Amino acid sequence: MHIAEGFLPPAHAVAWGVASAPFVVHGVRSLTREVKEHPESTLLLGASGAFTFVLSALKLPSVTGSCSHPTGTGLGAILFRPPIMVVLGTITLLFQALLLAHGGLTTLGANVFSMAIVGPWAGYAIYKLLRRFDVPLMVAVFFGAFLADLSTYCVTSVQLALAFPDPSSGFLGALGKFGSIFAVTQIPLAVSEGLLTVLVMRLLVQSSKGELTRLGVLLAKKQSRTETETEAVAR
Amino acid sequence: MLPIDAAAHSSRWRRRHPVDKAVLGLGLTVLAISLPPWPGAALVLVTSLAVLLGPAGVPARRLWRAYRVPLGFCVTGALTLLVQVGGPDGFVSLADEGPLRAGELLLRTSAASLGVLLFAFTTPMSDLLPRLVKAGVPAPVVDVALVTYRMSFLLLDSVRRIRQAQAARLGHTSRAAEWRSLAGLGATAFVRAFDRATRLQAGLAGRGYDGTLRVLVPEARVSVRFTAASCGLLAALAALTLVLERALP
C-alpha cells in the first residue's frame, strides 16, 4: 500500500523527501555511470523498469483469501542490485502516481524511502547473507522477497505513526495500531510474494540462464579444461 | 494505453506547456496540504473539480474512475484515526477528536489528489518526460524513464493476452493452477521485456545509436497569461481561506 496523495503533513513529506534524496542521487550516479560505460544498458534498464511496473500491477492471491499486489522490490533488488533499483523504483512510483493515481507526488519521498530504498536493501542484504553461507538459491530468494515486502510495510507503519501519533499512547500506540492492521494483511502477503518470487525465479533459471548470468544472479559456467584445449587446437 | 494517459492525449489542454499545467495542478495540491483543511482544503477541492470538469474538459465518468482509487485509500487510512489505543476507556476505544481528525484528513487528501489528477489528466507522459532534462534531471535517467514508459504498455498488453490464454487453458480453475499461472506470467514478462530490449538495441544499432534517444516533442511555449492567472487563482484561494477561517466557526 502506497501512502496516498496529501496524506502526510507538509513537514513530514519534505523530511522523507530529504531522507530519500542521498540514496536517489547515489542510484542516479550509478545508473549514469553504467549508461556511459555501456550505452546499450539504457534499453535493458528501461526494460527492467517496465518489468518492475508490470510486476507491481499483477494481482497476487493472498493466503487469507483476499487479493493484493506484489511490491516487486525483492525480485528487482536481486536481479538489478539496490542502487539501480532505487532509480527504477522511483520511476515506477512516479508513473504509478501520475498514470494510476496510486501513491502521490507529495508523498513520493516517503514511498521511495519505504519501497525503493529500505525494501530493496533489506531484501538484498538477507539474500546476499544467505548466499554467502551457501544456502540454496531458492531459499535465499524466498527470504529476500519476504523481507523486502515486510520491511516496506514496517517502514510505512513507522511513517504513518510518526505523522498521526495516537491521542492517548502517542507514537508507540499508533505504531501498534498501524502495525497490527498491516500485520494481518501483510505477513500473509509477504509469504505469498516470497513464494511467487521463488516460482518466477525457478522459471527464469530454466528459461533465461543467459540473462541471469549477465545480471550476476547466476555464476558464469567455467569452461572445462578439455573444451579450452579443443578451442586452442582449433585456433 | 492507461486510461489517464489516454485522456491526457485527447485533453483540451494537450497543447499547453507542462509548466502551465504544473503551476495550476501541483499548486492546488501544495495549497491543499498547506492550508487549514477547513475551509482551505474544501475550497481547493471545489476549485479543482470546477477546473477539471469546466475549462480542462475532463469527462466526469473518467475522472470518477480515476478518483475513486485514491479516495478508497484515503477513507481506509482515515478510519484508523477514529480509534485510540490505551487510555481510561479500555485498550481500544473511540478517540474524542477522531471524527474531526479523520474528516480533516479526508478533506486534505481528496483535495490534494484532485490537484495531481488535474495535471495528470491534461499532460501526457510523452510531453513531460523529455522536458525533464531541462529541469535538471540527468539525460540517462530520462532516457531510461522513456523506455520504461513506452515498454510498459507493450508489456501490460502482453500480460493481458497471456492471462487470457492461461484462462482459456483452465489456468485459473484452482488455487495451485492460479499460482502456477501467475509465476509463468511474471517469468514471461521478464523474458519478453529483455527480448524486446535486445531487439530494440539491434534495431537502434543499425540506425547509428550513440547512447541518446532523440524524440520529437510537440512545440509549446509557457503562457505568461495562463501562468499568471493560475498564480492569481492560487493567491485568491489562500487569501479567501484566511478570511473565511476567521469568519466561520
Residues B82 and B30 in one domain: yes
Tell me how close the Cα of B215 comes to any Cα of chain A, in angstroms: 15
CA distances from A68 to A37, A63, A189, B196 (A): 39, 11, 8, 28
* Nearest CB to A5; choose among B70, B184, B213: B70
- Residues 23-42 (B) with a CB less than 8 A from some CB of A: 26, 29-30, 32-34
Residues B48 and B29 in one domain: yes
How far apart are alpha carbons A91 and A51 in whole angstroms? 12
Residues B173 and B60 in one domain: no
Chain B interface disruption, residue of A56, A85, A138, A168, most B CBs within 10 A: A168
Q: What's the pTM?
A: 0.88
Q: What's the pLDDT score for residue A25?
A: 95
CA distances from A70 to A56, A80, A144, B38, B181 (A): 5, 17, 13, 37, 15
pLDDT digits (tens, 9 = 90+) for B26-85: 999 999 999 998 889 999 999 999 999 999 999 999 999 999 888 888 888 788 888 887
| Mean pLDDT computed over every residue of chain B | 88
Chain A interface disruption, residue of B21, B29, B141, B150, most A CBs within 10 A: B141
Q: What's the pLDDT score for residue A228?
A: 45
Delimit the domains of chain A by residue range.
10-215
How far apart are alpha carbons A221 and A212 in whole angstroms? 12
**B213 in a structural domain:** no
Number of structural domains found in chain B: 2
Residues B118 and B238 in one domain: yes
Asked if A54 and B183 come within 8 Å (Cβ–Cβ), the reply is no
Residue A58 gets which letter from DSSP?
Answer: S
How far apart are alpha carbons A113 and A89 in whole angstroms? 10
Residues B103 and B183 in one domain: no
pLDDT at B219 over 50: yes
Q: Which residues contact B107 (CB under 8 A, 6 or more apart)?
A: B37, B38, B41, B42, B45
Asked if B140 and A7 come within 8 Å (Cβ–Cβ), the reply is no
For residue B147, the chain A residues in CB contact (below 8 A) are 42-43, 45-47, 49-50
Tell me how close the Cα of B57 comes to any Cα of chain A, in angstroms: 18
For residue A57, the chain B residues in CB contact (below 8 A) are 156, 159
Asked if A99 and B148 come within 8 Å (Cβ–Cβ), the reply is no
Asked if B187 and A204 come within 8 Å (Cβ–Cβ), the reply is yes
Residues B7 and B108 in one domain: yes
Task: Please indicate whether residue A167 or residue B140 has the higher confidence score (pLDDT).
Answer: B140
**Percent of chain B clearing pLDDT 90 (strictly above):** 44
Residues B112 and B152 in one domain: no
Average pLDDT over every residue of B172-190: 85
Q: Residue B114's closest CA among B156, B183, B52?
A: B52
How far apart are alpha carbons B227 and B24 in whole angstroms? 8
Chain B interface disruption, residue of A34, A37, A51, most B CBs within 10 A: A51
- Classified as helix, coil or strand, B92 is strand
Residues B48 and B138 in one domain: no
Helices marked H in A38-134 — which ranges?
41-55, 73-80, 82-99, 108-111, 119-132
Residues B22 and B119 in one domain: yes
Tell me how close the Cα of B173 comes to any Cα of chain A, in angstroms: 13
* Nearest CB to A164; choose among B81, B108, B184: B81
How far apart are alpha carbons A104 and A98 in whole angstroms? 8
- Classified as helix, coil or strand, B121 is helix
Q: What are phi and psi of B17, to 5 degrees?
A: -70, 140
Chain A within 8 Å of B156 (Cβ-Cβ)?
A: yes
pLDDT digits (tens, 9 = 90+) for B121-133: 999 998 899 898 8
Q: Is the dihedral of CA A93, B4, A7, B238 positive or negative?
A: positive
Residue B1 gets which letter from DSSP?
Answer: -
Chain A within 8 Å of B99 (Cβ-Cβ)?
A: no
* Nearest CB to A53; choose among B148, B183, B196: B148
**B162 in a structural domain:** yes
Cβ A75 vs Cβ A197: under 8 Å:
yes
Helices marked H in chain B — which ranges?
3-9, 18-34, 42-53, 60-79, 98-122, 125-128, 139-168, 175-205, 224-247
Residue A214: half-sphere exposure toward Cβ, Cα within 13 Å:
10
pLDDT grade for B179, boundaries at 50, 70 and 90 = confident
Asked if B34 and A57 come within 8 Å (Cβ–Cβ), the reply is no
CA distances from A105 to A99, B22, B52, B110, B126 (A): 12, 12, 18, 14, 18
Task: Please indicate whether residue B194 or residue A117 has the higher confidence score (pLDDT).
Answer: A117
Residues B102 and B23 in one domain: yes
How many other CB atoms sit within 10 Å of the CB of residue A153?
24
Interface A:B, Cβ pairs < 8 A: 245
For cell 534517444, what's the residue?
B213
Pairing of strands A60-61, A67-68: antiparallel
Nearest chain A residue to B184 by CA: give it: A200
pLDDT at B89 over 80: no
- Classified as helix, coil or strand, B206 is coil
**B74 in a structural domain:** yes
Cβ A92 vs Cβ A56: under 8 Å:
yes
A10-215 architecture in CATH? Answer: Orthogonal Bundle (1.10)
Q: Residue B30's closest CA among B115, B150, B135?
A: B115
Residues B18 and B118 in one domain: yes
pLDDT digits (tens, 9 = 90+) for A168-205: 788 888 888 888 877 777 788 888 888 888 888 888 88
Q: Which residues contact B69 (CB under 8 A, 6 or more apart)?
A: A100, A101, A102
Residues of chain A with pLDDT below 70 are 1, 59-69, 220-235
- Structural domain harbouring B201: 131-205
Asked if A102 and B182 come within 8 Å (Cβ–Cβ), the reply is no
Q: What's the pLDDT score for residue A48?
A: 82
Asked if B183 and A196 come within 8 Å (Cβ–Cβ), the reply is yes
* Nearest CB to B66; choose among A50, A88, A101: A101
**B212 in a structural domain:** no
How far apart are alpha carbons A107 and B30 in whole angstroms? 11
Q: Residue B138 is which amino acid?
A: P
Q: Residue B40's closest CA among B52, B55, B53, B30?
A: B30
* Nearest CB to B85; choose among A75, A168, A207: A168
Asked if B148 and A211 come within 8 Å (Cβ–Cβ), the reply is no
Nearest chain A residue to B63 by CA: give it: A101
Chain A within 8 Å of B120 (Cβ-Cβ)?
A: yes
CA distances from B68 to A101, B110, B124 (A): 9, 10, 21
